[in-house]
Amino acid sequence: MPDRNPRYDILFDPIQIGPKTTKNRFYQVPHCNGMGHRYPRAMAEMRGVKAEGGWAVVCTEECSIHPSSDLSPATLMRLWSDADLPVHELMVEKVHAHNSLAGIQLVHNGFEVANYVTRLPSLAPGNIPTENFPHVHARAMTKADIKDFRQWHIDAAKRARRAGYDIIYTYAAHGTMTLLYQFLLSRYNTRTDEYGGSLENRVRLLREVLQDLKDAVGDTCAIALRFAVDELLGDDGMNQSEAQDIVGMLAELPDLWDVNVAAWHNDSMPSRFGSEAGQQDYISFVKTLTTKPVVGVGRFTSPDTMVSQIKNDVIDLIGAARPSIADPFLPNKIDEGREDEIRECIGCNMCTSGDYLAYPMRCTQNPTMGEEWRRGWHPVTIEKAGSSASVLIVGAGPAGLEAAVALSDRGYQVTLSEARKHLGGRVITETSLQSLGEWRRVADHRTWLLSQRANVQTFTESTLTADEIINADYAHIAIATGSHWRTDFIGLQHRQPVPIADNSTILAVDAVLNGQRPSDHSASVLIYDDDHYYLASALAEQLASEGRDVTLVTPAADIAEWTHNTLEHEHIQIRLRQLGVKIICNKHISHVDAGHVTLACVYIDTPMQVEADVVIPVTSRRADDSLFNELQNQKPAWADTKIKSVTNIGDSMAPATIAMAVYAGHEYARNLDLPAEKARFFRRELELGGE
């Protein structure tokens, strides 16, 4: 095993945080995961794996301190009473097993929640509609409420100490997500007592809570403050000027400053709209105002960038949420001189969808994320090959590449055959769109790993027929031939083909991704989005940036509707409008003619005609499963061969996200040669703690 590169030694210095000391500078900041109190064993195992991977500090997600901060239906943590302690004790035990510190982020969400389950009135600095539920109003907190609020923090902190946590957070970040931040913001805090008005008054409650926690547990636990230094709203929100004053007021009170920008879609900036270390200019002032250690985030994947952040006095600890999800063993890989093997976060934010949709988090780059306990999958170790059988994988898209990597890790002899010139499949074509460039890491990481493996043979520009496969010398065959975009408009809205005039021009998504464009640069382009994820907007952005006249039409009430779950939506809206893309919602395609398209309202079918020389349907995909079906039809011919199995995986079985394709490839590799009952095995969560 190679030694650590000396230029990264600084990343492994211990850091003092109050009464605690870290083993290095790698710090998994609090992040949501869709597991929390509902899937506590999955949550704890996931956190424990990160500690095993070298993260010196591993924190929880938001942890509600009282039933008046009920985040349902979201699945996060709770510490309302002693009955919640077993969940926390389990996580702490997993983290401490690897000599890492465990942190807990205490939160009250104020008017960000409607308390649908507990049915308690929401709390706020003043009487105001709740943030996400305008039909539910929050009530203004009285002095008695404020006294209770402080006591809830004290009680939760003492319980956290009993659970074994090392670092306890006071949370005032991510815009309106926390009551303490709501008190800081003048647009919400219109109180006229000592908790409102001047900045000093608006900071009062945060100062009191910090001091309460220090007094309650500060001799045994470190107290951290998570604070968003800028909302990117100018004078209408938290900005650099006010943030500097706040940090100056509280500089030495917390043991650790965890700083970022708000709101969440700016903090966890999608790679389509922001690069690594993108928060540096906003947070760099903090270290000039405090002697306490500072942790910050920036989707750090490059150890050289990490070193630069420390040496330039931006931060002391390398904070990470998404990079720790994509590669829980990132610190260990750097420590062991294997930084080339880091599974870099692509910033697609598939992980955040778990929080929004209340299911265990998943990751495009890391198919084991969320499966550490449920299926017993580890991100580094994998069961050895169940036989000496050889494996042929046909198709080197995300499913085929991941299957080849995992099978080679198990020790199988693998042959990977790809019809095109480059490995990567849809990842290569989709990343031809400029805004999706960082997603190419899905292909590049696996292609590089395979180039290092002696037990993998890779062939490009190699198109195999069913007869050639049957007559080849392989025991197991995986078909991963992908899918292609339909041009008949069949999707969620249209279950039958749309009428298309013979003299109209339909341009397939796959053609655009492979470089084809309308021959007339002045031709008007209409993109019809019935996929509702990222691709239609990325196509619109690309074509508009090339100077083309683009209209984006969707039957949904909003463009790229599903990207609300990946924090891309607001950025997409802004970017397309800046580029002059015309946006039409609540309309479906009625008929396509030369030079124009007839749309109809999704509710009352009112017609509308829109100029369009070229139409690009982004609706649904058809699985390229003909090779698999042909092999199945010739199954009798297998009898005289070594073939034991032919399996269809990824998009060629069921088109889905890139994350699902990677997962399918990994699942195939994990399960090969296992008994059926073991391959299908997964554990179900049962209640742990609670009342």
pLDDT of residue 459: 97
The residues, ordered by sequence, that sit 6+ positions from 639 with a Cβ below 8 Å of its Cβ are: none
- The helix or strand, by DSSP H or E, that contains position 26, with its residue range, turns out to be strand 26-28
Asked if 95 and 87 count as a contact pair (C-beta separation under 8 A), the reply is no
621 DSSP β-pair partners: 485
Asked if 160 and 82 count as a contact pair (C-beta separation under 8 A), the reply is no
Asked if 413 and 453 count as a contact pair (C-beta separation under 8 A), the reply is no
Tokens matching residue 248 = 């100056």
Q: Tell me: the pLDDT tens digits for 337-391?
A: 999 999 999 999 999 999 999 999 999 999 999 999 999 999 999 999 989 999 9
Q: Tell me: the pLDDT tens digits for 183-206?
A: 999 999 999 999 999 999 999 999
pLDDT of residue 579: 98
Q: Crossing angle of helices 441-451/398-410, nearest 10°?
A: 30
The residues, ordered by sequence, that sit 6+ positions from 343 with a Cβ below 8 Å of its Cβ are: 326, 327, 330, 365, 366, 445
For residue 352, give Cα distances in angstroms to 172, 296, 361, 364, 454: 20, 19, 7, 11, 37
Q: Which domains does the chain have, with CATH numbers?
A: 6-357 (3.20.20.70), 390-482+624-679 (3.40.50.720), 487-621 (3.50.50.60)
- The helix or strand, by DSSP H or E, that contains position 334, with its residue range, turns out to be helix 330-335
* End-to-end CA separation in angstroms for the chain: 49
Asked if 263 and 174 count as a contact pair (C-beta separation under 8 A), the reply is yes
528: helix, strand or coil = strand
DSSP assignment letter at 78: E
The residues, ordered by sequence, that sit 6+ positions from 537 with a Cβ below 8 Å of its Cβ are: 529, 552, 559, 560, 563, 572, 576
pLDDT of residue 419: 97
pLDDT beneath 50: ranges in the chain: none
- The helix or strand, by DSSP H or E, that contains position 539, with its residue range, turns out to be helix 535-545
pLDDT of residue 280: 97
584 DSSP β-pair partners: 553
Q: Which of 385, 383, 382, 380 is nearest to 366 (CA)?
A: 380
Q: Could you give the residue numbers annotated as active site?
A: 32, 171, 174, 267
Asked if 516 and 478 count as a contact pair (C-beta separation under 8 A), the reply is no
Q: Specify the amino acid at residue 337.
A: G
- Please state, in angstroms and rounded to a whole number, the distance separating the CA atoms of residues 240 and 259: 12
- Please state, in angstroms and rounded to a whole number, the distance separating the CA atoms of residues 10 and 309: 11
Q: Which of 416, 360, 408 is nearest to 382 (CA)?
A: 408
DSSP assignment letter at 590: E
Place of tokens 């005032």: 172
Q: Specify the amino acid at residue 237.
A: G
